[in-house]
Structure 1
Amino acid sequence: MTWIDMMIIIIYFAILVVVGIIGTIKAKTSEIYILAGRNLGVFMLFGCLTAVFLGGSSTIGSAQLGYEIGFSGVWFVFSMGLGITLFGIFLLKKVTGYKLMTISELLGKLFNVESKLIGAVIAAIYALMVSVTQVIAIGALLSAIFDWNLVFSMLIGGGVVFFYTILGGMWSVSMTDIIQFLIMTAGIFLIMLPTSLSKVGGFAELTAQLPSSYFDFSAIGFKEIIQYLLTFTLGMMVGQDIWQRYFTAKNLKTARTGGILVGVYSLLYSLAMVIIGMCALIVLPSIENTQNVFTSMAFETLPTGLLGIVFAAVAAAIMSTASGTLLASSTLITKDILKDHFFKDISDRQFLLLSRVTTLVIGIVAIVIALWIQELLVAIDVAYALLAGSIFIPIVFGLFWKRATAKAAFYSIVISAVVVLAGLAIEGLSSSNPILYGIAVNIIVMIVVSMMDRTNKLEEVQTNETMDA
């Protein structure tokens, strides 16, 4: 890294700080702070939705999968984009009629306060754990770039992200997401991908030097593909960070169009990252730690200036996810736990202050956990598994099955969450079976308890009618 590359990254960070300061002025109401005033157009929404899920694991992880297995590594990121698109097509119209801010708020309107509370807790934990992994990722990136201590790097990187998020909320997050989206797109598609292909002699040379299995989209096996779809597609469909972005759209048509574009972009982005990883296998065939594939390839192929832009793109990918999930966790805790149960009669101005304070506290907690762990664990997979396995089915049943009851929703969330966690503990954190167990238990409990409730209510009505007669 030369001083030019470092200055590019420093300037980028400075711009994000300025946006945060401006956000303090712009975010004068809770709706602007949490949902950016619900007035984003197609391009803004598309950029925000894309930026929130293309984080450190999506970028660095996809290049690693390309290095290890080739095209079948596409499923990792594409399954996330697919979840966002499917939510926009199949669930968004039903959901937007409720004028929501949070996913657990929907559980409350469909069922009861207990379901809303347990849903808020699970969704908030999921969002917090995603933020933690992104703090670790940005720390690792800054440590590699500037040769800083990892702890100091996490404090700086996490501090910048949380600074603009705390001050400006969704307004600042939306503005920075667009900046980050543009940098990510330019850095990957216009610089890193063509440079990597040029280094190996073009795509034809890539096909000539790598095994045919590297060009097979199903090489990882049907079971692994299903695991990606269950974990990430369903997880994205019930992620507060995704819903919160969708709710910023000015109308339903805008939201759906943005969601469809995300699915297309996720496929193109994952293909680009996988190809970069495949190129790295030819250029650098003996990388010991494959998590370093992307950064090693960047150092190997990019000249001064372009290297700074590409690393700024990686930082953008990480920071956009961190800010979105931090705000998602804070919103769930502020609105559906603190306001509903402890600060019921506060004004909008007081609620805005409470939101900022909660975001600050959650940000500190995320950094503390990141400093404690200091390595990217499979906690993110656990968080997605818990979210998809326990919340997806009650929401779908509540929206499309009129016989679903509040008691059934509450017990299905609690029992399926226990089943998912127990399954992961018994079979291992990398197993996809616990998600299947959780979904199966969820469906059974929802149907059985709902039918029992209906039967009991019918018997009560008949008993009352008999007594009246």
Structure 2
Amino acid sequence: MENYMIFIILMAVYLLGLIAIGVYFSKKQKSVTDFWLAGRKVSSLAIGFSAASSWMTAGGILAVIGLYMLLGMGSVWEFVAPNILALLLIAVLVGKIKHLPAITQPELLEQRYSSAIRAPVAIIIAIVMVLFAVADITGFSLVLSIFFGLDPIYAAAIVAIAISLYVTLGGFSAVIWTDMVQFLLLATFSIITAVVVVNAATSGVGDTAAISTSELFGSVPADWWDVFNFGLPAGDPAIFGIFAAIVFLIAIIPGWVTEQDPWQRVWAAKDQKSARIGMVLGSFFIFLIFGVVCTVIAVSLNHIYPEIPASMAEIGMGAMAQAEPALLVFIAETLTPLGIGLAGVGLAAAAMSSADTFATSGGSCLSRDIYQRYIKPDATMKEMMAVNRISVLIIIAAATVLSFYIQGIIEAIHIATFIASASYFFPLMGGLYWKRATKEGALAGLVVGALAQISFTVIDYSSTPLLAMGSLSAISPLLANHGVIIGMFLSGIAFFGVSLATQPSDTVHLAPFFNDEAEKLAEEEFTIEESDPQYRKLIGSLEREVTGDRAIFKLNLEASATVNWDRFVDELKTLHPSWVTPTGVNSVYRLTKGDMLACVSLSRGNTEKEIWFASEPMAEDVETHVKEFFSAFKQVSQALENIGVLLTLPTPEEA
């Protein structure tokens, strides 16, 4: 009871700090970009901390240590190496990703193809995020169970309540900054824990004799350090280990490279350089904790609990049931009540640093890509924040239910990754780099890949004994990992085949992604008199800020009466065909150039009277863009006047 009370007090203080961060950033939100992408102002260091933190879950740490204990360094291909390589690959792709005009991947795919693909992708991403969150809740459940004897439902309750408060208050800014706090707390916990475990192992515990640190690491068998050793019987050729590593990389990396949450971090970065450096830093931080610190802990725990690696020979991967919680058992048996409480908070930080990312990404698919796109396109920001809070809770609730059915932390992560790899890798990456990709091909690749992979997973899961080798793997190595390679192959065949058999996409859908298509969009001519009083008012009211290679323009105005959004958008598009709604009426663009980020966009504000203008031109175009912004304002004012509503600029004193 003493341990639990200390934990509760420390946890309450920690959560109050996170909520304070959420409240602080809630006061800075003046656009949808502020809420979902932290205003695109995040530095490289913050990106690095957040990118690493999103994968350093409580469950991930326990699972990595458990795999090291049983399989040695050959297990890096199951989680650690793909994680590092995926972030490095995203760093390479930053130049293509950064300037894409979207807040979520489903929105991006609608811009590239059509509205037909947005809902299916949103649903699949939400499912994938739920499965990732399962690993967080499962890992945190182990912590609360071993430390305090609590049921798993308490883990979900703590994670859900905390995340729903600070994320829905402060949006993605809160996610980024709390991730930084959580990473620093987690890194400190991990390093201190490694020192304590090494000290215990070298001091001699139980029946083990005291040894030096050099003896501890020198006693590890040579094959334990072999990155291509998968715990195979002696004499198996190394070529099989290399083949198995390649299979893991093909199965996992596509799903992680196309995962929505690292893309959101790229979009949130203040410029391309910050995004690239941030991803590289994130991969280094992951290597530091998963590659170095967890290795030290695993070697020490194997010395303290030699019966755990020995059990591998008798029960195979069933030994993971002992290996995953080994660190927690050590902490519970060794540390003081204060130490256990601090460890509990450190592992809670690990769980929340990832769960908030997955809940935010999955919740944005439900709120923005489903609710706002199809159910209520004219929803205000205030309504969207409420819906987003509910969406976050739905993701956590679904993850809680599934955590009772999916045994094993790594298994939950792998299932989610394989579904992502097989379903939307080709539609997403193919759409960015292959002009001939069509909406029919994208939808075919998505549906075929998702159905195939979910079917393979269900078959493998239902016909395989608990923690045994998958039944599909026994048929052929190509069917390993729940048949994901075959699932990806089928998705690719459907994507490329159907795309070539159907009509190419039109210029509006291609322009944001391919420069030669963007050049076909003629600039709209407009003439502005700088002596115009309204123009002078606009200069005084317009918020302008240069961040990196882009400038951020914002103008939040309130109309004279409630705006019938659908009627207003129809009138605006009729008067001025340059205004388009490529992703639904909730986001309206003045499409006068291929760079959609630089185009003036409209969205509904906090109330039904507010209209939010925004655009992100290149920094060198700031002065000329003011005139284009004013031209957009005049066109909007004209459309509103035609439906009986006035929109005026405030005086400098009012602004």
TM-score range, shorter chain: 0.7 to 0.9
Q: Which residue of 2 aligns with 1:228?
A: 248
Q: Could you tell which deviates more after superposition, 253-262 or 209-218?
A: 209-218
- Per-residue CA distance 1:185-242 (angstroms, 9 max, x = gap): 11112x1223333333455223332221111111122344234323432222111122
Residue 82 of structure 1, aligned match among 76, 80, 85: 85
Q: Which residue of 2 aligns with 1:114?
A: 116
TM-score, scaled relative to structure 2: 0.64
| Amino acid aligned to 2:283 | G
Residue 258 of structure 2, aligned match among 238, 253, 260: 238
- The CA deviation at 1:7 is 4.5
Alignment check: 8 A CA contact 1:30 1:348 kept: yes
Q: Which residue of 1 aligns with 2:21?
A: 19
Q: Which residue of 1 aligns with 2:294?
A: 273
Alignment check: 8 A CA contact 1:34 1:101 kept: yes
Matches within 5 A, 1:398-437: 398-428=431-461, 431-432=480-481, 434-437=483-486
| Amino acid aligned to 1:312 | V
Q: Per the alignment, in what secondary structure is the counterpart of residue 307 of structure 2?
A: coil
* 1:306–1:206 Cα change, 3 Å: same
Q: Which residue of 1 aligns with 2:414?
A: 381
Alignment check: 8 A CA contact 1:142 1:157 kept: no
* 1:444–1:427 Cα change, 3 Å: same
- The CA deviation at 1:101 is 0.8
Say whether residues 1:295 and 2:328 are aligned partners.
Answer: yes
Q: Could you tell which deviates more after superposition, 277-286 or 440-449?
A: 440-449
| Amino acid aligned to 2:488 | I
Alignment check: 8 A CA contact 2:156 2:397 kept: no
| Amino acid aligned to 1:79 | P
| Cα separation, 2, equivalents of 1:439 and 1:283 | 42
Q: Which residue of 2 aligns with 1:352?
A: 385
Q: Which residue of 2 aligns with 1:467?
A: none
| Amino acid aligned to 1:38 | R
- The CA deviation at 1:433 is 5.6
Structure whose residues are more often helix by fraction: 1
- The CA deviation at 1:170 is 1.4
Q: Which residue of 2 aligns with 1:461?
A: none
Alignment check: 8 A CA contact 1:63 1:275 kept: no
Q: Per the alignment, in what secondary structure is the counterpart of residue 40 of structure 1?
A: coil
| Amino acid aligned to 1:35 | L
Say whether residues 1:262 and 2:265 are aligned partners.
Answer: no
Q: Could you tell which deviates more after superposition, 215-224 or 313-322?
A: 215-224
Alignment check: 8 A CA contact 1:249 1:255 kept: yes
| Amino acid aligned to 1:266 | I
Q: Which residue of 2 aligns with 1:447?
A: 496
Alignment check: 8 A CA contact 1:158 1:367 kept: no
| Cα separation, 2, equivalents of 1:210 and 1:303 | 30
* 1:304–1:348 Cα change, 3 Å: closer
| Cα separation, 2, equivalents of 1:150 and 1:424 | 25
- Per-residue CA distance 1:25-79 (angstroms, 9 max, x = gap): 4445432221121111111111111111111332111110121122223332231
Q: Which residue of 2 aligns with 1:101?
A: 103
Q: Could you tell which deviates more after superposition, 163-172 or 259-268?
A: 163-172
Q: Which residue of 2 aligns with 1:148?
A: 150
Matches within 5 A, 1:117-266: 117-189=119-191, 191-201=192-202, 203-220=213-230, 221-266=241-286
| Cα separation, 1, equivalents of 2:281 and 2:74 | 22
| Cα separation, 1, equivalents of 2:224 and 2:389 | 47
* 1:55–1:357 Cα change, 3 Å: same
- The CA deviation at 1:118 is 1.5
| Cα separation, 1, equivalents of 2:29 and 2:146 | 35
* 1:418–1:10 Cα change, 3 Å: same
Alignment check: 8 A CA contact 1:59 1:314 kept: no
Residue 282 of structure 1, aligned match among 303, 326, 351: 303
| Cα separation, 1, equivalents of 2:119 and 2:87 | 24
RMSD: 2.7
Q: Could you tell which deviates more after superposition, 151-160 or 67-76?
A: 151-160
Q: Which residue of 1 aligns with 2:346?
A: 313
| Cα separation, 1, equivalents of 2:29 and 2:21 | 12
Q: Per the alignment, in what secondary structure is the counterpart of residue 346 of structure 1?
A: coil
- The CA deviation at 1:454 is 5.2
- Per-residue CA distance 1:363-422 (angstroms, 9 max, x = gap): 44444554x548546343222111011111222211111211111111011011112122
Alignment check: 8 A CA contact 2:146 2:329 kept: no
Alignment check: 8 A CA contact 2:251 2:418 kept: yes
- Per-residue CA distance 1:320-343 (angstroms, 9 max, x = gap): 111110010111122222212122
| Cα separation, 2, equivalents of 1:355 and 1:114 | 23
| Cα separation, 2, equivalents of 1:197 and 1:176 | 30
Alignment check: 8 A CA contact 1:26 1:171 kept: no
| Cα separation, 2, equivalents of 1:273 and 1:345 | 49
- The CA deviation at 1:304 is 6.1
Alignment check: 8 A CA contact 1:22 1:168 kept: yes
Q: Could you tell which deviates more after superposition, 433-442 or 296-305?
A: 296-305
Alignment check: 8 A CA contact 1:127 1:325 kept: yes
TM-score, scaled relative to structure 1: 0.88
| Amino acid aligned to 2:377 | K
* 1:146–1:224 Cα change, 3 Å: same
| Cα separation, 2, equivalents of 1:435 and 1:286 | 34
- Per-residue CA distance 1:75-133 (angstroms, 9 max, x = gap): 3223113212211212x221222222111222212222122221111111101222233
Identity, % of aligned positions: 23
| Amino acid aligned to 1:440 | F
| Amino acid aligned to 1:275 | V
* 1:360–1:9 Cα change, 3 Å: closer
Alignment check: 8 A CA contact 1:127 1:240 kept: no
Number of residue equivalences: 453
Structure whose residues are more often strand by fraction: 2
| Cα separation, 2, equivalents of 1:246 and 1:145 | 37
Alignment check: 8 A CA contact 2:110 2:117 kept: yes
* 1:184–1:245 Cα change, 3 Å: same
Residue 65 of structure 1, aligned match among 61, 64, 67: 67
| Cα separation, 2, equivalents of 1:376 and 1:68 | 14
- Per-residue CA distance 1:250-291 (angstroms, 9 max, x = gap): 111000000011122222222221321121010122347111
| Cα separation, 2, equivalents of 1:107 and 1:392 | 12
| Cα separation, 1, equivalents of 2:251 and 2:166 | 30
Provide structure 1 residue ranges, at least 5 long, that are not aligned to the other structure.
458-469
| Cα separation, 2, equivalents of 1:225 and 1:301 | 37
Q: Could you tell which deviates more after superposition, 259-268 or 322-331?
A: 259-268
- The CA deviation at 1:307 is 4.4
* 1:222–1:424 Cα change, 3 Å: farther
| Amino acid aligned to 2:501 | M
Say whether residues 1:34 and 2:36 are aligned partners.
Answer: yes
Alignment check: 8 A CA contact 1:173 1:323 kept: yes
Alignment check: 8 A CA contact 2:142 2:325 kept: no
| Cα separation, 1, equivalents of 2:62 and 2:257 | 23
| Cα separation, 1, equivalents of 2:388 and 2:142 | 29
* 1:301–1:26 Cα change, 3 Å: farther
